[in-house]
Amino acid sequence: MWNQIPSLQSLKLFDAVVRHHSMTRAAKEMAISQSAVSQMIRQLEDFVGTSLLDRSTRPMGLTDAGHEFHRTIIETLGRLASTVEDMRKAGNGQDNVVTVSCNLGCATYWLMPRLNYFSAAHPEISVHVMAAYQGAAGLHDGSDIALRYGDGKWPDGPWELLLKETIVPICSPDYLERHGLANNLEDLSSRRLIHVAVQDPEWLGWESYFKALGRRRSREACDLRFGNYVQAVQSALTGDGIMLGWRSVVADHIAAGQLTPACRMPVHLESGYYVNVHHALDDDGGKAQFLAWLKAEASKTPYF
C-alpha cells in the first residue's frame, strides 16, 4: 500500500502550488527553490501517471485529475490532522480547544480585539490563533476553523462568506487636518501613499484601486512601502500618509476616531473573508459555538 502513495512532502508542495496559483510563491512557503518545486511536481505527475496542472493558463490552473487529486488530499490529510489534534487535546486534557487560522492583518485588527468577548461568554473554551504572515494556511495544518480572503472558490471547501470587503483610502486625523480631504483621484494621486508588499493576487493594492476607479497613477517617488499590513497601519496611525483601509482590518480604528477616510471614494469588492465550516458543522461543542460567534461579530462590523 505505501508504495502506491506519494510522499507527504510532495502532497504538501502540490497543495501549496494550488493555493498560491504559483510555483514561485509555493517555493517561498516551502523554503525551496522554484526549480525544485517544478521538478517535484513533475515527479508527482509521473508517479500518478497524469498531468495535474494546466500550464496553459495564467494563473496556473488544475486539470480535472488535478482537481480530484487535490480534493482527495485535503479530505484525507484533513481527517488525519483532525484525529491527531483530537488525540493531542485529549492527552493534554484540552478537549475544548478551538484552533483558528487567518492572516496577520485579520488576526491583529479584527479577531484579537474581539476574542475577550468570546472568552467572557465561554470561559470553558480555549482559542488558539494561528496567524499566517501573508495569505492563509491550508486546512490540514491543525486548524479547526480557517478564515481566508478571496472569492471563496477554493477546492478545499466548503467555504461560507463571513465578511464582504470594502476598501477606502484612510489616514490619521492629524494628516487629514494638515492636508485636507482628497476631493478627486487626481488630488489623491498627488499625496504620499502607503503601500503593502503582498504577493497574494487577491489582495488589492493602490494600482488596482486607481484602475477600479478608471485612473492610472504614475507618481510614486515619495510613497512608503512596508512588508505587511500591520506595519502599514502603524505608519498611517502616526500620520505618515494615506493607506488603503480594508473594512475587516480598520473599521474599529475608524469607529474609535484613530483613522479617518482620506476621501469619499470607496471600492466595494466582490471578494471577502470566508470561513471554512467543514469541521465545525460536525461538532456541537466549542467549534460550533465559536463559528456562531464569528458570524455574529462579522454581522456587526460596520461598513465605511
For 68-73, which contacts have Cβ atoms below 8 Å and span 24 or more sequence positions?
A: 69/14, 70/14, 70/15, 70/18, 70/155, 70/156, 71/155, 71/156, 73/11, 73/14, 73/15, 73/140
Residues 233-242: tens digit of each pLDDT: 989 999 999 9
Residue 181: partners with Cβ closer than 8 Å, 6 or more residues away: 262, 263, 264
Taking the complete model, does pTM exceed 0.85, yes or no?
no
* Residues 170 and 242 both lie in one domain: yes
Amino acid occupying residue 96:
N
User: Average pLDDT, stretch 43-56?
Assistant: 90
Higher pLDDT, 263 or 86: 263
* Residues 139 and 82 both lie in one domain: yes
Last residue of a domain, one of 53, 71, 89: 71
Evaluate if residue 169 carries a pLDDT over 90: yes
Q: What is the pLDDT of residue 265?
A: 94
- 207: CATH: 3.40.190.10
User: Average pLDDT, stretch 171-177?
Assistant: 96
**Structural domains of the chain, count:** 3
* Residues 84 and 64 both lie in one domain: no
* Residues 93 and 145 both lie in one domain: yes
* Residues 65 and 79 both lie in one domain: no
In this prediction, residue 143 has a pLDDT band, given cuts at 50, 70 and 90, of: confident
* Residues 11 and 94 both lie in one domain: no
The H or E element containing residue 131 is strand 126-132
Evaluate if residue 150 carries a pLDDT over 80: yes
The grid coordinates of residue 44 equal 508527482
- 43: CATH: 1.10.10.10
Domain membership of residue 277 as a residue range: 75-163+271-300
* Residues 155 and 287 both lie in one domain: yes
In this prediction, residue 270 has a pLDDT band, given cuts at 50, 70 and 90, of: confident
What share of the chain has pLDDT > 90, as a percent? 33
